[in-house]
Amino acid sequence: MTEQNETYKGGCACGHVRYEMTSKPMITHGCHCRWCQRESGTSFAVNALIEADRVNITKGDVVEIIVPSVSGAGQRFTRCPKCQVTLWTNYLVMTGGLGEVIRFIRVGTLDNPDPFPPDVHIFTSTKQPWVILPSGVPAFEEYFVIEEIWPPESLVRRAALSSTIEKATS
């Protein structure tokens, strides 16, 4: 099976919204920052980073709200208008202007989240102490150098997004 024809379906709790990712994500983050802990009400967020144009809403519609973020720029939450479950977020300010084109899919909203454990754990300086991270998965007290952690094929995908943005803004 090639990357292009794999789809991963997900949705909200009430069934109003269904969506699909049309490929694997570029990378999955386990984020242990206090902001993610608060927003999720749990111990860490599991976010699959994927190009916005590889996410299709297949049923229903969504609403967006802006939630304060650590940068001050805000984080946009895309939610079901009925049950209010958040399906993905966008960081409005990201390095290289990628905020609009990379969605952070909440892995727990996939019908089968199991294939996407965190590839990297971040902001472990505020990790809740009972959370024991698996050995062999990179973990950083804050963030990391993308080129050192992302798989090569994902770096190619990210570079393609960057060149699209450069063309649009030049």
The answer to whether 83 contacts Zn ion (rule: CB under 5 A) is yes
Q: Which stretch binds Zn ion (CB under 5 A): 15-23, 86-94, 100-108, 127-135?
A: 15-23
Which residue is listed with tokens 């989240």?
A: 113
31 binds Zn ion (CB under 5 A): yes
Asked whether position 36 contacts Zn ion by CB under 5 A, the answer is yes
User: Is 9 among the residues that bind Zn ion (CB under 5 A)?
Assistant: no
* Residue (of 1, 3, 17) closest to 105 by Cα position: 17
Identify which of residues 146 and 165 has a Cβ nearer to Zn ion in the complex: 146
**Shortest Å, Cβ 111 to Zn ion:** 14
Given a contact cutoff of 8 angstroms between Cβ atoms, the answer to whether 150 and 26 are in contact is yes
Nearer to Zn ion (CB atom), residue 12 or residue 50: 12
b/e 40-67 (16+ beta carbons within 10 angstroms → b): eeeebbbbbbbbeebbeeeebebeeeee
Angle at 101 between CA 100 and CA 102, to 5 degrees: 100
The residues that touch Zn ion, with contacts defined as CB under 5 A, are: 12, 14, 16, 31, 33, 36, 80, 82-83
